[in-house]
Each structure stands twice: as C-alpha cells, then as structure tokens.
Amino acid sequence: MARFELLEFALSGIGEAPVTADALFELGMVYASGREGAVDLITAHKWFNIAAMKGHAEGARMRREVAAEMKDAEIGQAQRAARDWLKAHPLPVVVAAPVLRAAA
C-alpha cells in the first residue's frame, strides 16, 4: 500500500508545474502491470483516463483495454476517482494562438 501512496505523492506538487500526459500514462502502466506491487485496475483506469483527457492517445487505448477487464461498478469507481482528482488538480486551459498570415 505504501507504493501507491508514494506514487501519488509524487504528483502532489502539481501546483508548481503541469503534469505531463506521459507521466500520467506511466502511472497507469505501473498500476495496470503490477510492476511495483499488486495490479490495481481501478487506479490504472483513473490515470489512463486523465492521461487521455490530456491528449495521450495511448492512454485512451489502454483505458479501453483495462476497462474490458473490469466490472461496470469498478469502471464507475475509477471514473469518480478521476473526476475527484481533476477537481483538485484542474487541467490547464490551452488557448490556441491566432494564426498570423503575411500580407499579400
């Protein structure tokens, strides 16, 4: 259980710099594979879901793959966990810069 707390603690300093989609995806992989402890598909789905929301295409694919192994109630639990995390750590809004065209 300490492993899970340490991994999530690593993201607790989010206020200083944005967390990358790659870092969130990697957390999903750790939980999905059981690389450092027991497999936790609910937490893996949560991190893959958040990574996908940040534009990580592989995160979306892995979220679907993990969901295929989960019960509906587990998926709901993972989605609530992702929503709770996003409320505490909102994703930054990215505004596209206007396209400047050279005068003809």
29-54 residue pLDDT tens: 999 999 889 999 999 999 999 999 99
Rounded to whole angstroms, the Cα distance separating 25 from 10 reads 14
Mean pLDDT over 67-76 rounds to 98
Average pLDDT, the chain: 83
Q: Per-domain residue ranges for the chain?
A: 2-88
Rounded to whole angstroms, the Cα distance separating 47 from 56 reads 11
Which DSSP letter does residue 95 get? Answer: P
Q: For residue 51, what are the contacts with CB-CB under 8 A and spacing of at least 6? A: 21, 22, 24, 25, 28, 58, 59
